[in-house]
Amino acid sequence: MKMRRIAPMRIAKIGYVVMSLIFCVLGTGLILHADIGTKMLGTLLGIAMIVFGIVKIIGYFSKDLFRLAFQYDLEFGSILAVLGIAVLVHPIHAIHLIVIAMGVLIMADAFFKARIAKDSKEFGIPDWWFIFGGAIVAGLLGLLLMLRPGNSAETLITLLGAALVAEGILNLAVAICTVKIVKNQFPDNIDPDLEDISWKGERK
């Protein structure tokens, strides 16, 4: 039987990690420089959303071993990429769109990641609690973005930065804890009741 190619899985995992770190850096930058111009904010965030959306779609089709990290990413990645295009095309009017839309997206992603944490626990992955905790924090920040506390643009941008950092850490945790790349993997040859795989070995 022909072995499954691991290149798409490796690309998806590396892309997930890199884009998660970029979200963390971008969020930190917004916290430290909340006075950033709206056009610059829309351009940077729009590009990041488009790229991350594409990475998520690639992840969905990569068919990683445990089918946990990317199971909801076809729809979510498509929405993220489309929203990124909208923000990139109209960056000057993006602040209200960014705040509300990112709040909704981060809350939705937190919900899906909480489901992934639950599935990971049932699958025997010991780090499931880290994903679950990150999902709670990201979800709360997403909710605050939707409620838009205060009228100051700088306050909203600072809150957006914190939410992006939380979202980046959450996606990083999912990629590291649940995506395992195994050489010589057979296509769709997975035992659904598999419980004896050791997670103490080397993760690639």
The whole-number pLDDT of residue 116 equals 87
| % of the chain surpassing 90 pLDDT | 23
Q: How many CB atoms lie within 10 A of CB 33?
A: 15
Its pTM stands at 0.76
Average pLDDT of the residues in 180-202 = 48
Burial category of 136 from C-beta neighbours within 10 Å (exposed 0-12, middle 13-18, buried 19 and up)? middle
The whole-number pLDDT of residue 161 equals 92
Average pLDDT of the residues in 78-90 = 86
- Give the confidence band of 151 by pLDDT, cuts at 50, 70, 90: low
User: How many angstroms separate the CA atoms of 88 and 63, rounded?
Assistant: 30
Residue 37 predicted with pLDDT over 50: yes
The whole-number pLDDT of residue 166 equals 95
Residue 103 predicted with pLDDT over 70: yes
Structural tokens at position 200: 């103490």
Highest-scoring range by mean pLDDT, 1-5, 17-21, 93-97, 153-157? 17-21
State the DSSP string of the chain: -PPPPSHHHHHHHHHHHHHHHHHHHHHHHHHHTTT--HHHHHHHHHHHHHHHHHHHHHHHHH--SS--TTTTHHHHHHHHHHHHHHHHHSGGGHHHHHHHHHHHHHHHHHHHHHHHHHHHHHHT-TTHHHHHHHHHHHHHHHHHHHH--SS-HHHHHHHHHHHHHHHHHHHHHHHHHH----TTPPTT---TT-----SSS---
Residue 21 predicted with pLDDT over 60: yes
Residue 81 predicted with pLDDT over 80: yes
- Give the confidence band of 138 by pLDDT, cuts at 50, 70, 90: very high
CA nearest neighbour of 16 among 116, 104, 86:
116
Position with higher pLDDT, 191 vs 60: 60
Looking at residue 2, its amino acid is K
Q: How many CB atoms lie within 10 A of CB 181?
A: 17
User: How many angstroms separate the CA atoms of 86 and 98, rounded?
Assistant: 10
Q: Where are the domains of the chain?
A: 7-178
Q: What is the mean pLDDT of the chain?
A: 79
CA nearest neighbour of 61 among 69, 53, 70:
70
Give ∠ CA 121-124-129 in degrees, rounded to 5. Answer: 35
Q: Yes or no: say if 181 and 110 are a contact pair by the CB < 8 Å rule.
A: no
User: How many angstroms separate the CA atoms of 17 and 80, rounded?
Assistant: 17
Residue 194 predicted with pLDDT over 60: no
